[in-house]
Amino acid sequence: MTRRYFLLTISLILALTWTVGCSSLPNFMKPSSSSSTSKSKTTSEGLYASVPTSMRAPVKEASFKLTQSESNLKVAQEKVKLAEVKKERAIVEKKHADLNEKLAETMVKKAQVSVERKKVEAIDNANLGDKATNIKKIASYKTKELNIESNLVETKADIATLDLEIKRLNKRINLQARKVESSR
């Protein structure tokens, strides 16, 4: 009776070997191409379905690692986008700071011109110096003050525009930060 089981087992192994060999022979005989790659993939998927569940653990582990790696890649890509928006905001903030510095410098110039004008006005009110020269100097200082005031208005407008740009970028950063968090 054991001999009978032995012969039966040998026959099954030979039949299985012949079946697997014959089924892979057409793939072996065909020239390789992109379509054969997809066919071999579907063939390997079909063969994989025949693998016992107890032997699938390494494949499941590798598949899990692939999923983790893809997830990590997505997070990294979202972080790169976030960094790019933050970099853009930093550039705009530097322009903003430069304009605030220019504004402060312009206000100092305006104050200096105003001081000089008020000195000449005080001299003129005290009836000192040449009246015609005093009037021309006062007019010249007032013109400088108006030009400086014009520059102040333009600089303030540029600052206000950059304020809006920074707010827009902050919204983009918040949105991108949420994308980074949700992709983790």
Which residues lie closer than 8 Å to 30 by C-beta, 6 or more apart? 36
DSSP character string of 119-166: HHHHHHHTT-S-HHHHHHHHHHHHHHHHHHHHHHHHHHHHHHHHHHHH
pLDDT of res. 36:
53
pLDDT in tens, 33-89: 555 555 656 667 778 888 888 888 888 899 999 999 998 999 999 999 999 999 999
Tell me the whole-structure pTM to 2 decimals: 0.63
